[in-house]
Structure 1
Amino acid sequence: MHRNRTKAAVTLGVLLLATACGTPVVTESQPEERKPELHFSLSSSAKNYHSFEALGADSAVVVEATAGSATNEELSGIPTTVTEVRVDRVIAGRATSDTLPVLQFGDASVLSPETSSLLREGHRYLLFLHAHQLTPGVDTGRFLITGDQGAYELADGRYDLIGAPSSALPRSLTAEDAVAIAQRTG
Structure 2
Amino acid sequence: MDTRIPYDDYPVVFLPAYENPPAWIPPHERVYHPDYNNELTQFLPRIVTLKKPPGAQLGFNIRGGKASQLGIFISKVIPDSDAHRAGLQEGDQVLAVNDVDFQDIEHSKAVEILKTAREISMRIIIAKRRELCTRDLQPTALQVESARASWLALREASQEIVLSAPSWLSGWGGWGDSLPAAFYINCTVLGVP
- Which protein shows a greater Rg? 2
Greater strand share, structure number: 1
Task: Give the TM-score normalised by the residue count of structure 1.
Answer: 0.25
Task: Give the TM-score normalised by the residue count of structure 2.
Answer: 0.25
Greater helix share, structure number: 2
